[in-house]
Amino acid sequence: MSAEQQNAEPQIGWTREQMAQRVAVDIADGSYVNLGIGIPELIARYVPEGREFIYHTENGLLGMGPSPAEGEGEPELINAGKRRVTALPGASYFHHADSFSMIRGGHLDLCVLGALQVANNGDLANWSTGGPEAIPAVGGAMDLVAGVKAIYVVTQHCTKTGEPKLVEHCTFPLTGLGIVNRIYTDLAVIEVTSEGFQLVELAPGVDFEYVKERTGAPLLSMSESPTNATRA
């Protein structure tokens, strides 16, 4: 699909906010959650009625609350994206080694990250395009995917130029091997199973063929659900 086609298409599927909201629906009550930068940050706005999530930010805060009003807040109360946040009642501060002990030690239930590419074996590439001019920067992404119990990816289904981000093999440098459990895109919710990508839900107005065309690896339809479904 060329960039022109992409531009010509009407806006269909979920918006960024709807994608975030859709992810939130799948988070169990009482979960300890780390949200990556970008669309994942929006998830905090959509806690379903009757549930309580505790947000961890790897720079040293458990019990992170919403962003303060523009121009408010404190320069020393920030999240991993270096934006100002608040702390909720019951919060705690800790140093980086303790924070990553939470991550690496398997104490977080869920991490939601953005992606450059996800392979149908669960490999994730989200930190570098590998270009010679790029300054490599990894932050905590490799620690998160190595340690957190479940990894969800939320991303546009295709790149701005219309290339699929869900692929057979990642061509960008990897963040982790076989660690993605679910993918939420503007077009669909897709589970990464032992048999590859498995459609879970379509965005309103989107059909299976439309998603399949824009996916760079085989996509199982909802009726093709393998017996050995969910990874991890």
Partner 1 sequence: MIDKRVASCAQALEGVFDGATVMIGGFGEAGSPIELIHALIDQGSTDLTVVNNNTGSGEVGLAALIQAGRVAKMICSYPRTTNSTVFPKLYHSGKTKLELVPQGTLAERIRAGGAGIPAFYTPTSVGTPLAEGKEHRTIDGREYVLEYGLRADFALIKGLQADRYGNVIYNKTARNFAPIMAMAGKVTVVQAAQVVDAGEMDPETVVTPGIFVNRVVHVANPAHESELVAKGLSYPPTEPS
Q: Which stretch binds partner 1 (CB under 8 A): 105-113, 181-189, 196-204, 217-225?
A: 105-113
Residues 6+ positions from 52 with CB-CB distance below 8 Å: 29, 30
Q: Catalytic residue at 58?
A: yes
CA-to-CA distance for 29 and 220, rounded, in angstroms? 29
CA-to-CA distance for 149 and 191, rounded, in angstroms? 15
CB of 90 to partner 1, least distance (A): 4
Q: Which stretch binds partner 1 (CB under 8 A): 7-15, 98-106, 210-218, 222-230?
A: 98-106
CB of 104 to partner 1, least distance (A): 3
CB-based burial label for 224 (10 Å; 0-12, 13-18, 19+)? exposed
Q: Does 37 bind partner 1 (CB under 8 A)?
A: no
Q: Does 49 bind partner 1 (CB under 8 A)?
A: no
Q: Does 102 bind partner 1 (CB under 8 A)?
A: yes
Q: Does 57 bind partner 1 (CB under 8 A)?
A: yes
Radius of gyration, alpha carbons of the chain: 18
Between residues 14 and 53, which has the closer beta carbon with respect to partner 1? 53
Residue from the set 56, 157, 182, 214 that interacts with partner 1 by CB under 8 A: 56
Q: Does 100 bind partner 1 (CB under 8 A)?
A: yes
Select which of 4, 41, 52, 58 is catalytic. Answer: 58
Residue from the set 87, 200, 212, 225 that interacts with partner 1 by CB under 8 A: 87
Question: Which residues within the stretch 134-153 sit at the binding site for partner 1 (CB under 8 A)?
Answer: 135-143, 146-147
CA-to-CA distance for 148 and 107, rounded, in angstroms? 7
Q: Does 95 bind partner 1 (CB under 8 A)?
A: yes
Nearest to 59, CA basis, from 96, 104, 97: 96
Q: CA dist 194 to 2, 153, 225, Å?
A: 31, 17, 11
**Bridging pattern class, strands 110-113 and 196-202:** unpaired
Tell me, by CB under 8 A, how many residues bind partner 1: 60
Between residues 17 and 93, which has the closer beta carbon with respect to partner 1? 93
Residue from the set 25, 177, 222, 232 that interacts with partner 1 by CB under 8 A: 177
Half-sphere exposure of 92 (CA within 13 A, CB side): 7
Sheet holding 182-184, edge to edge: 86-93, 61-65, 54-57, 32-35, 110-113, 150-154, 182-184, 188-193, 196-202, 219-220
Catalytic residues: 58
Where do contacts with partner 1 occur on this chain (CB under 8 A)? 29-30, 32, 52, 54, 56-63, 74-78, 82, 87-108, 123, 128, 133, 135-143, 146-147, 173-177
